[in-house]
Amino acid sequence: MIDLLRNLLKIKSISPNDMGCFDVIEKELRKLGFNCERINYLNVENLYATTGNSGKLFCFLGHTDVVPTGPEEKWKYPPFSATIDGDILYGRGTADMKASVAAFIESAKEFINSSSTMNFRLGILLTSNEEGSAKDGFIDQIIEKMIKDNEIIDFCLVGEPTSSKKVADCARIGRRGSLGGHLKIYGEQGHIAYPEKVINPILLSGDLISNLNNKIWDNGNDAFDPTSFQISNISSGTGAHNVVPGELELTFNFRFSPESSEDSLKSEFESVLNEHNLNYDLEWELNGLPYYTKDNFFIEIVSNSVKEVTDYRPELNAKGGTSDGRFVAKMNSEIVELGPVNKSIHQIDEHIKISELWTLKEIYTKILTKINQVS
Ligand SMILES: [Zn+2]
């Protein structure tokens, strides 16, 4: 497993390029009897591998692409050298998420070699454009195609790095939605010495921002934090000290729980704007809908597997950014995300603990064994 992982880490598969990771993976999976299919959209590669003849479909979901390294000279070891130092394996894409991909394959191998019967279908679905623009939505297109072909995933294990301090201490049973917007507030430009002749959009935005910041959009629920509102950019001003500007632009984002919806947030946001009698333009951008696995069946299997291997249970939450789980949710699949510690992801010196990767692999194998028992 570690050799396979190191081979994958040495490939510079910066999003959206797979750069041959799938060739390495496919070779391993074919040895195990998987049927491998490449599904390509607009030069982005995806790999869908399955084995088993009948029964429910369990699918590992992951990606082979990685984010850029940043300044390579700041890394302790070159980011694509896959250097091992004691129990630590360094490299871009270790935690996010080539280690999980290696663990998918190793656990599948262990399960297949140790089981006399296979009562379910085992799938591995990998994309090379997870980290890239969500708009490209390649997994989205594959999922649409699978739904059309009646290839419905019953249980989906996403290997994204969900763990916080030690492996498997946290799992995700949902993700918040992401709704962005761009607001332009219009005032009346003029000389700063003639306040009666200007309408200052900067002063107007003060009360507005304060109200938006204090507003409770919802209270969240057991798995979800309350919806949060943030502003990422604000700009106004002509550069001159004696001119009140005529416009102000502001970029904002909601990370929202299923207790709110795209429509409810849009209309509440707009009603706050209207309370302030503003002259404005508003553009919305939906980046992802929230998803939430309500059924306990698969969640219990994952939680029990973690407990049996580690002696603790994962905290089940819906924290973090969006993930490809939101696309699979369209199939009404039961989805749980469980992967390595995420402390170093996207950072300089990204790494994993090798001992924890073996633990993760053991948990994955345990999950497959339990799925087989209940199928
Ligand atoms: Zn990832």
Residues 169/348, Cβ–Cβ less than 8 Å? no
Sheet hosting strand 84-85, strand order edge to edge: 84-85, 88-90, 351-353
pLDDT for 133 equals 61
> Tell me, what CATH number does 203's domain have?
3.30.70.360
Ligand 1 centroid to 133 CA: how many Å?
A: 13
Ligand 1 centroid to 331 CA: how many Å?
A: 21
Listed residues 288, 304, 337: the one ending a domain: 288
pLDDT for 45 equals 84
Total domain count, the chain: 2
Mean pLDDT by 10 residues, the chain (375 residues): 98 92 97 94 86 97 95 97 98 98 98 95 92 65 92 97 98 95 98 96 97 97 93 96 97 96 97 95 93 94 98 95 89 97 97 98 98 94
- CB atoms < 10 A from the CB of 149, how many? 8
pLDDT for 375 equals 87
Pairing of strands 291-292, 174-175: antiparallel
- Count of residues for the chain? 375
**Pairwise CA distance, residues 56 & 375, whole Å:** 7
Ligand 1 centroid to 294 CA: how many Å?
A: 23
Ligand 1 centroid to 358 CA: how many Å?
A: 19
Ligand 1 centroid to 321 CA: how many Å?
A: 10
Residues 255/177, Cβ–Cβ less than 8 Å? yes
Ligand 1 centroid to 157 CA: how many Å?
A: 13
Residue 295 belongs to domain spanning: 2-175+290-374
170-208 residues labelled b (16+ CB within 10 A) or e (exposed)? bbbbbbbbbbebebbbebebbeeeeeeebbbbeebbeeb
Which of 18, 45, 65, 160 is an active site residue? 65
Q: Are residues 194 and 159 in the same domain?
A: no
- Cβ-in-10-Å burial (0-12, 13-18, 19+) of 266 comes to middle
Q: Are residues 77 and 164 in the same domain?
A: yes
Token output for 192: 């700063």
Q: Are residues 167 and 265 in the same domain?
A: no
List all residues 6 or more positions away from 355 whose beta carbon is below 8 Å from its beta carbon: 87
**Pairwise CA distance, residues 363 & 307, whole Å:** 9
Q: Are residues 124 and 140 in the same domain?
A: yes
Pairing of strands 190-191, 291-292: unpaired
Q: Are residues 17 and 97 in the same domain?
A: yes
Type of residue at 284? W
Ligand 1 centroid to 189 CA: how many Å?
A: 46
**Pairwise CA distance, residues 131 & 133, whole Å:** 7
Q: Are residues 66 and 135 in the same domain?
A: yes
Which of 45, 130, 154, 337 is an active site residue? 130
Q: Are residues 169 and 50 in the same domain?
A: yes
> Tell me, what CATH number does 296's domain have?
3.40.630.10
Alpha-helix runs per DSSP H in the chain:
2-9, 21-31, 99-114, 138-148, 201-214, 262-275, 297-310, 325-328, 354-374
Q: Are residues 316 and 193 in the same domain?
A: no
**Pairwise CA distance, residues 325 & 59, whole Å:** 11
DSSP structure class, residue 331: G
Residues 198/244, Cβ–Cβ less than 8 Å? yes
From the list 206, 164, 204, 208, the residue with the least C-alpha distance to 314 is 164
**Pairwise CA distance, residues 230 & 176, whole Å:** 14
Q: Are residues 137 and 277 in the same domain?
A: no
Q: Are residues 148 and 166 in the same domain?
A: yes
Q: Are residues 12 and 101 in the same domain?
A: yes
List all residues 6 or more positions away from 116 whose beta carbon is below 8 Å from its beta carbon: none
Pairing of strands 174-175, 46-51: unpaired
pLDDT for 308 equals 98
Ligand 1 centroid to 249 CA: how many Å?
A: 32
Mark whether 130 is an active-site residue: yes
**Pairwise CA distance, residues 210 & 227, whole Å:** 16
